[in-house]
């Protein structure tokens, strides 16, 4: 007879980036969790290595960004070599267009091998007494009105465990069990004629300053990306109408292919720490949840690796979901709030899938000659991701039933708004549902300075009250309404003035927006009173100008979304 464990915790299935991000967000919200993974040891492969600017912002809110920067490196430029021969450089370019960092957009893409990334999260989770339970996987999941019963198998243990959880988050990868348990369909395609083999290797005889590329027109590319550690690279052989599956069975075969097709006998490949195979899939689920069981990350959507969106989108899923689970768990919000995870994320996922699928042909060179045009930056789309939306800074939820903008939504209907879910509204003023911008140079009465991104936390709503000096009574009224609302215990309030440190208000922290970055980023005139609510996931929940507007937003969260 199986052991029975009664718990009041949330179960997270899968200890990849999506599961770990959900776990750390919940842990910081004070929610008891268990996180399990069927692997019996932590993997050592680089896998998804690119952390885009929006993901780095999420990491900053979670307190892990500095570790990611310390253990990662900026994205190196690409250097392509002519074949045959493999030594003559025919082109240099950057994989992504340069991003101009601004006060409201301060983060850039960082490359961190996935096993390093996961280790950072595990280290931070350990501070909350949370550790990944390896060799543990679900055999069945059943739910009822009060919770979820999960039948857990433990590696090397005959006797199984039956445990009860309040909610279950499935982040167990593209082949995971949780998707099947809730009856979700995985719709899309698999590129049966294609394949990719990747290895983590020590390499001698080539610079770590570039992402090195050799490509056989119309067939395959060999990609060699330097890692943070000197002399270590993540090397891929990716094919279109070409499947290198046999190269994943033996490092010797992998090396033989490399030498035969690059001609670079001067390069030494040694000490393989991982050798993996992947067949490109472009799929997404038809639903992200059923009852108390939710899906995030690869189990919900898999993409072409072009554009580096998989890991980043999965972390975005987790960050959207976890704060909602936390509020409902604490009894501060209606269970209907959880349905907005699907409402908000499904359009984003669909657009990500479309964009990365369109970029997929760029993994292999398509030009049919070796003309000089091959070496020019804009002559070909090969291995160039020219879409600024890939940074995910434009992802938004303007159509969501739990955001509220007193100014309206510019006459757009829900379908039109969803069409902009991924590429957003570049250059337009921010509105409810958009990413909340950063703003440095906020000075308090002591002269100490901070920024919004140093204040935003995944366990707090942040109320920004833009308060000119002459409207002090309105400010006090709004601050009191927030403090006395059902969400009062999870709200932090900032009062901002363009002209100086505003008068102290009970329940709020006053800041002088010295350089006007906050007013500019949020499109608020220095003489205008405005109230912005930033959700725990760093998106604007409300943009209003009085207590009534604020209460409208709170009602949508606390009592459930308006349908």
Binning pLDDT at 50, 70 and 90, where does residue 370 land?
very low
Model pLDDT, residue 187: 94
Q: Omega into 409 within 30° of 0, i.e. cis?
A: no
Beta strands in 419-490 (DSSP E): 442-443, 449-450, 461-466
Secondary element (H or E) of residue 33 = strand 33-37
Four-residue CA torsion sign, 417, 419, 422, 424: negative
Does the fold of domain 404-558 match that of domain 3-73+98-188+282-358? Answer: no
Model pLDDT, residue 562: 60
Report pTM.
Answer: 0.95
Over residues 415-433, mean pLDDT: 97
Q: Is 270 exposed, middle or buried (0-12, 13-18, 19+ CB in 10 A)?
A: exposed
C-alpha 563/C-alpha 64 separation (Å) is 37
Beta bridge partners of 462: 492, 534
Q: Is 484 exposed, middle or buried (0-12, 13-18, 19+ CB in 10 A)?
A: exposed
Domain locations in the chain?
A: 3-73+98-188+282-358, 404-558
User: What are the C-alpha distances in Å from 221 to residues 94, 112, 395, 457?
Assistant: 17, 22, 31, 42
Class of domain 404-558: alpha beta
Model pLDDT, residue 561: 76
Q: Are 194 and 239 in contact (CB under 8 A)?
A: yes
Read off φ and ψ for residue 385, nearest 5 degrees.
-100, 85
Model pLDDT, residue 377: 37
Buried b (16+ CB within 10 A) or exposed e, 213-225: bbbbbeebbbbbb
Binning pLDDT at 50, 70 and 90, where does residue 47 land?
confident
Model pLDDT, residue 297: 97
Q: Which candidate, 47, 46, 72, 40, places its Cα nearest to that of 59?
A: 72
Model pLDDT, residue 256: 97
Model pLDDT, residue 373: 36
Question: Does 375 have pLDDT greater than 50?
Answer: no
Question: Does 508 have pLDDT greater than 90?
Answer: yes
C-alpha 405/C-alpha 402 separation (Å) is 10
Q: For 436, which DSSP code?
A: P
Please report the DSSP string for 69-124 in residue order. HHH-EEPPPEEEE-TTTS-SEEEEE-SS-----BTTB----EE--HHHHHHHHHHH
C-alpha 485/C-alpha 478 separation (Å) is 11
Q: What is the pLDDT of residues 14-39, one digit of tens each?
A: 999 999 999 999 999 999 999 999 99
Question: Does 1 have pLDDT greater than 80?
Answer: no
Pairing of strands 449-450, 442-443: antiparallel
Whose tokens are 């690409």? That residue is 78
Pairing of strands 509-513, 491-497: parallel
Q: For 298, which DSSP code?
A: G
Collapse the DSSP code of 171 into the 3-class scheme (helix H, G, I; strand E, B; otherwise coil) and give the result: coil
Binning pLDDT at 50, 70 and 90, where does residue 48 land?
confident
Q: Average model confidence (pLDDT) for the chain? A: 93
CATH number corresponding to 3-73+98-188+282-358: 3.50.50.60
Question: Does 332 have pLDDT greater than 70?
Answer: yes
Secondary element (H or E) of residue 273 = strand 268-278
Question: Does 379 have pLDDT greater than 60?
Answer: no
Secondary element (H or E) of residue 215 = strand 211-216
Neighbours of 321 (CB within 10 A): 30
Q: What is the pLDDT of residues 431-450, one digit of tens each?
A: 999 999 999 999 999 999 99
Give the range among 49-63, 317-331, 385-399, 463-477 with minimum mean pLDDT: 463-477
Over residues 346-362, mean pLDDT: 93
Binning pLDDT at 50, 70 and 90, where does residue 367 land?
low
Q: What is the pLDDT of residues 146-178, one digit of tens each?
A: 999 999 999 999 899 999 999 999 999 999 999
Question: Does 369 have pLDDT greater than 50?
Answer: no
Question: Does 472 have pLDDT greater than 80?
Answer: no
Which position has the higher pLDDT, 387 or 422? 422
Q: Which candidate, 19, 13, 52, places its Cα nearest to that of 309?
A: 52
Question: Does 92 have pLDDT greater than 80?
Answer: yes
Over residues 407-412, mean pLDDT: 91
Model pLDDT, residue 304: 84
Which residue blocks in 301-456 are alpha helix, DSSP H?
A: 310-329, 340-359, 414-419, 452-455
Q: For 36, which DSSP code?
A: E
Binning pLDDT at 50, 70 and 90, where does residue 59 land?
very high
Secondary element (H or E) of residue 50 = strand 50-51
Residues 6+ apart with CB under 8 A from 253: 246, 247
Question: Does 270 have pLDDT greater than 90?
Answer: yes
What is the distance between the terminal CA atoms of the chain, rounded to a whole angstrom? 46
The structure tokens listed for 203 are: 């390499």
Which position has the higher pLDDT, 110 or 365? 110
The angle that helices 53-62 and 17-28 make with each other, rounded to 10 degrees, is 40
Question: Does 248 have pLDDT greater than 90?
Answer: yes
Q: What is the pLDDT of residues 105-154, one digit of tens each?
A: 999 999 999 999 999 999 999 999 999 999 999 999 999 999 999 999 99
């Amino acid at each position: 007879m199986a052991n029975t464990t009664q718990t009041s915790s949330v179960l997270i299935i899968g200890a990849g980036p999506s599961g770990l991000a959900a776990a750390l967000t919940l842990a910081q919200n004070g929610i008891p969790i268990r996180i399990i993974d069927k692997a019996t040891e932590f993997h050592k492969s680089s896998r998804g290595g690119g952390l885009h600017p929006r993901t780095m912002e999420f990491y900053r809110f979670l307190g892990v960004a500095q570790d990611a920067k310390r253990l990662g490196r900026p994205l190196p430029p690409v250097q392509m070599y002519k074949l045959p021969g493999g030594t003559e450089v025919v082109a240099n370019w950057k994989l992504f267009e340069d991003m101009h960092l601004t006060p409201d957009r301060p983060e850039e893409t960082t490359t961190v091998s996935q096993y390093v990334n996961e280790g950072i999260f595990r280290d931070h989770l350990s501070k909350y007494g949370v550790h990944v339970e390896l060799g543990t996987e679900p055999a069945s999941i059943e739910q009822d009105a009060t919770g979820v019963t999960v039948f857990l198998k433990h590696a090397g243990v005959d006797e199984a465990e039956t445990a009860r959880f309040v909610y279950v988050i499935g982040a167990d990868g593209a082949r995971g069990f949780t998707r099947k348990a809730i009856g979700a369909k995985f719709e899309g395609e698999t590129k049966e004629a294609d394949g990719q083999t990747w290895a983590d290797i020590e390499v001698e005889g080539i610079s770590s300053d570039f992402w090195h590329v050799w490509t056989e027109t119309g067939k395959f590319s060999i990609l060699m990306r330097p890692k943070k550690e000197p002399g270590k690279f993540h090397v891929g052989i990716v094919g279109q109408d070409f499947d290198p599956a046999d190269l994943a069975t033996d490092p010797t075969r992998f090396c033989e292919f490399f030498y035969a097709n690059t001609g670079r006998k001067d390069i030494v490949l040694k000490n393989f720490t991982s050798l993996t195979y992947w067949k490109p899939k472009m799929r997404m689920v038809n639903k992200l949840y059923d009852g108390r069981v939710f899906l995030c990350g690869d189990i919900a959507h898999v993409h072409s690796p072009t554009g580096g969106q998989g890991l980043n989108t999965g972390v975005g899923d987790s960050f959207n979901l976890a704060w909602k689970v936390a509020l409902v768990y604490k009894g501060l919000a209606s269970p209907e709030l959880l349905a907005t995870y699907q409402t908000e994320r499904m359009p984003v996922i669909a657009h990500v899938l479309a964009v990365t699928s369109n970029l997929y042909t760029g993994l292999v060179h398509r030009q049919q000659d070796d003309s000089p045009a091959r070496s020019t930056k804009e002559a070909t789309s090969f291995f160039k991701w020219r879409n600024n939306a890939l940074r995910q800074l434009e992802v938004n939820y303007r159509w969501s039933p739990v955001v509220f903008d007193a100014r309206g939504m510019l006459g757009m209907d829900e379908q039109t708004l969803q069409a902009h879910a991924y590429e957003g509204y570049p250059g337009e003023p921010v509105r409810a549902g958009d990413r909340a911008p950063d703003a440095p140079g906020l000075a308090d009465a002591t002269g100490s300075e901070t920024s919004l991104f140093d204040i935003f936390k995944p366990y707090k709503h942040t109320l920004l009250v833009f308060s000119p000096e002459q409207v002090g009574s309105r400010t006090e009224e709004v601050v009191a309404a927030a403090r006395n609302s059902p969400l009062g215990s999870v709200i932090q309030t900032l009062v901002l003035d363009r002209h100086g440190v505003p008068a102290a208000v009970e329940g709020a922290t006053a800041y002088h927006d010295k350089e006007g970055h906050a007013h500019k980023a949020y499109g608020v005139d220095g003489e205008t009173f405005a109230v912005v609510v930033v959700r725990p996931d760093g998106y604007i929940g409300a943009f209003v100008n009085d207590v009534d507007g604020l209460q409208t937003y709170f009602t949508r969260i606390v009592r459930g979304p308006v349908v």
